[in-house]
Structure 1
Amino acid sequence: MASRSALAPPWWVALRVYTRKPVLVITLLGFSAGLPFLLVFSTLTAWLRDEGVARTAIGFFAWVGLTYSLKILWAPVVDRLRLPLLTPSLGQRRSWILLGQLGIAVGLATMSQLDPAASLTPIAAAAVLVAFSSSTQDVALDAFRIESAPDEEQGALSAGYIFGYRVALLVAGAGALYIADASGWSVAYLSMAALVAVGVAATLWGDEPPHRGAAEQRRMDAAMVDQVMGRPMHLERRAFWQRQLLGAVICPFLEFLQRYGRFAVVVLIFVAVFRLSDIAMGVMANPFYLDLGYSKSEIASIAKLFGFFMTIAGSALCGLLVLRFGILKPLLLGAVLVAATNLLFSLLALEGGTAPPPIVWLALVISADNLSGGIAATAFVAYLSSLTHRSYTATQYALFSSLMTLPGKFISGFSGWLVDVGGYPWFFVVAAALGIPAITLVLVLMAREHRTVTAAAREPVP
């Protein structure tokens, strides 16, 4: 049997994947997804502090971000509910994406007309509307991306999405600050609301992926429930709310467990631990640079310039690697590189003394970190996409995306304590060690895939 790399297209042919319409649409929608994120977090807190809002009140605005972690609660609604007027003309996914974009635009435009010093509660309500609409858009967009291309092209779609998302972060971060400095915060937020039109145009330009019909979906839900329960449950005879609860909420989880069996536990653990290393490290990155003695302008220039382009380079490279070698090999490469670059930070910490290390060293370490992060993030998004079933895409992906950050966020809360106790060199060694479970589990996944392929090759051809 020929290897996957031997059957893969040449590099110059593989590059054409980035010119395909689905990739271009997802790139623009990635911009739409990234635009509101900072506008309800760091950019918003800068505005509030600039207007003299108390730090305690500013801290409460962090709770706005809970909507991104809780989107699994309404993902089943996005997966199944047909929107009047919009769904018949746009389809299930694009109708919900457009609704989310309209909510973002309304929320940002409303914020632009308010004075935080006099209208803090309305500002908070508008920010919640933006965050809720953004997370709703994310649920539908993730499903749209997964359903728009086969697994081997998910790396390219992930790379395009990350590129658009990163550009949006620059626009909503540095761009909004520049506009606010020149023309005021009202103009800045109104400009960001106008940029939602980029995502709206992409939504209208895109093609709705095929879906199961309602009758076919009900039959599949009934068969799934019957198979798991081991006896006919007569789902079609149950009350409407029972059919919806079982079909939209319970069946996505049953399908995943039925497909992977006991190995589902391994998969979920892997999803939970893959980002432990980079999330734990990321919290202390800026304090580390400052403690080494670098200036804020040096940190901003190196992190923004080298960080942005190296992340994009890593994402683009990983998209090609997934197309040529499948998902698991680039996933292993990303896991190893993310852990290894933490050791580079440890070496940089050892070099720090009375004067900061040469700025070129910081540039090299940040470049390596962002290149590896781009590879790992793109491969991981492609892997999570491959885990979903096309009948339950939105709900299953919302589950995985929520699970992938929770352990890392919890552990990162101890990062400052670990630095105080052991210093930066040991902190980064520990952060690198947190990548070992992910590397080990990727090898487990690769071994399972090898066994599956080998067993399929041994089966007689009918």
Structure 2
Amino acid sequence: MATSATTATADAPASYKGWRGIRRAFGTPSAMTMLMLGFGSGLPFLLIASMTLSTRLRDSGLDLGSIGLISLASFFYLLKFLWAPLIDRYAFPLTAFLGRRRSWLLVSQVVVALGLVALALTRPELGVGPLVMWVLVASFAGATQDAAVDAYRIEIAPVKAQAALAATYTLGYRIGLILAGAGALYVAEFLGWREAYLAMAALMLLPIITTLVCREPVAPESTVERRIDFVGAFWQPFSSFFSTNGLLLGLALLLFVGLFKFPDQVIGVMAGPFYLDSGYTKADIATVSKLYGIWMGIAGAFIGGIAVAAFGFRRMLFLAAIGVALSNVAFVLMAQYPSQIWAFYAAISADNLFQGFAGVVLVAFMSSLTDRNFTATQYALLVSLANLPGKFVGGVSGFIVEATSYVTFFVLSALTVVPTLLLLAWLWRRIREPVAEPAEPAAEPVA
């Protein structure tokens, strides 16, 4: 397995080994920058691609099948690797003065904010055409923002600090989810959906300001001969991945990443409708799922960051895969005890804790697979693969539930972990942990 090339950022070599190294990694100013950029990535996701949007549509009277199909309008989140080579190779023309990474960040964040304003002004009960169009625009901008943020994170710090940066990024991301989930639902409950989406659009000013004041990562020294033509910008990131890992191992790694989050991803679209159909109010959903649950996810993320730093990838990948699958079974408890708030808390505790844990473990693992000559493209490909299978099935999940039941759906989703575990067993001895940096500490970077 490939490890990342030596960082060429302004970070001087430092030891990130042991508890002292964990504290250093979590304390770097780059971690604070990732907190705010993570917030910007997390805020729009529920509003345009997941539970808040599906809850809004159900609240407007749409059937489950239509809700599942409309969720496919956010497919740009899974296709960002297609235009990520442009993010790797070029700065965005109008904002090129900010640098390659920040130029794309600023433009995408502004478009996300404008997309949320437009969604606030649509009325799905009068027709879903305009809503779908603006979901497409906002999801394209959100996906572009995510690709730029991921590349920024990988290039701003050494490999051994990536688990900590992933944890602080996840903290910001989850805070964004709290506001886009619980915050939006509370506002929708008492003021309406229009006001909820306008409030979320205003909050995008925070990551926009962060992009304007944070530093641009120093471009890595290229370890490959780059083709300067347009075709080479798209072809080289993919050929580099397979030349480094070999065809068989490269395909196995991509398949593993694609299967790892499948049990979690496949139930995402149906979560909001399931909560409503189980007898919970929007305020209940906001309090338990999008407030309490998010903090459980944050706890899981920090446990995951510390666990990867202490024990490495392999054992944590195994534990995370098992935990995500078993957490899906917890939703059966809710189905058996509808409207019971204790069952809601129990299911959300298990689900979000392991989601947060598994998310950081997977981010750190995927970061280690990335060649820093093609950061945005390779990482975007891995993230797309991590979400594509579950997103595809999620698009038809409404029909599966209507043909069977919620209980059957959750049990079947948990069983999909079996192929992941079999593939991990084959990869076990082929996964190498990242090499430690020199032991002498150095000055922290300024972010």
How many Å separate the matches in 1 of 2:125 and 2:22? 53
Evaluate the alpha carbon distance shift between residue 387 and residue 416 of structure 1 in structure 2; reply closer, same or farther with a 3 A threshold.
same
Partner of 1:39: 47
Amino acid at match of 1:86: T
Aligned pair partner of 2:244 in 250, 259, 265: 259
Aligned pair partner of 2:80 in 64, 71, 74: 71
Amino acid at match of 1:302: V
CA offset digits 1:333-382 (Å, max 9, x no partner): 21122223345555x379x3xx6597545423431222111111111111
1:316 aligns with 2:325: no
Partner of 2:226: 221
Amino acid at match of 1:81: Y
1:376 aligns with 2:384: no
Partner of 2:6: none
Q: Which runs of 5+ in 2 are unaligned?
A: 1-14, 436-447
Partner of 1:304: 290
Amino acid at match of 2:36: L
The higher-RCO structure (CA 8 Å, 6+ apart) is 2
CA offset digits 1:222-265 (Å, max 9, x no partner): 5xxxxxxxxxxxxxxxxx7xx2202x111111100101102111
Query: Could you tell me whether the CA contact under 8 Å between 1:15 and 1:320 is conserved in 2?
Result: no
Partner of 2:438: none
How many Å separate the matches in 2 of 1:81 and 1:114? 34
1:434 aligns with 2:439: no
Q: Percent identity?
A: 41
How far apart are residue 428 of structure 1 and its match?
Answer: 4.3
Query: Could you tell me whether the CA contact under 8 Å between 1:153 and 1:322 is conserved in 2?
Result: no
TM score, norm. by length of structure 1: 0.77
Amino acid at match of 1:39: L
1:444 aligns with 2:426: yes
Aligned pair partner of 2:107 in 99, 105, 129: 99
Partner of 1:367: 349
- What are the within-5 Å matches in structure 2 for residues 145-156 of structure 1? 145-156=153-164
Query: Could you tell me whether the CA contact under 8 Å between 1:272 and 1:403 is conserved in 2?
Result: yes
1:140 aligns with 2:126: no
Partner of 2:369: 387
> After alignment, is 394-403 or 327-336 more displaced?
327-336
Partner of 2:256: 270
Aligned pair partner of 1:175 in 183, 188, 192: 183
Query: Could you tell me whether the CA contact under 8 Å between 2:81 and 2:384 is conserved in 1?
Result: yes
How many Å separate the matches in 2 of 1:402 and 1:206? 27
How far apart are residue 128 of structure 1 and its match?
Answer: 3.4
Which protein shows a greater Rg?
1
Query: Could you tell me whether the CA contact under 8 Å between 1:332 and 1:443 is conserved in 2?
Result: no
1:330 aligns with 2:312: no
Evaluate the alpha carbon distance shift between residue 415 and residue 196 of structure 1 in structure 2; reply closer, same or farther with a 3 A threshold.
closer
CA offset digits 1:101-156 (Å, max 9, x no partner): 12223333455567778997666554433222221111111111111222222212
Evaluate the alpha carbon distance shift between residue 424 and residue 447 of structure 1 in structure 2; reply closer, same or farther with a 3 A threshold.
same
Q: Which runs of 5+ in 1 are unaligned?
A: 1-6, 223-239, 454-462
TM score, norm. by length of structure 2: 0.79
CA offset digits 1:424-443 (Å, max 9, x no partner): 66654433332122233334
How many Å separate the matches in 2 of 1:272 and 1:167? 26
- What are the within-5 Å matches in structure 2 for residues 121-140 of structure 1? 125-140=133-148
CA offset digits 1:287-339 (Å, max 9, x no partner): 66677776766555432343212111000111111222223332222112222
How far apart are residue 207 of structure 1 and its match?
Answer: 2.3
Q: Helix, strand or coil: the match of 1:404?
A: helix
> After alignment, is 391-400 or 118-127 more displaced?
118-127
Evaluate the alpha carbon distance shift between residue 13 and residue 143 of structure 1 in structure 2; reply closer, same or farther with a 3 A threshold.
closer
How far apart are residue 96 of structure 1 and its match?
Answer: 0.7
Evaluate the alpha carbon distance shift between residue 375 and residue 124 of structure 1 in structure 2; reply closer, same or farther with a 3 A threshold.
closer
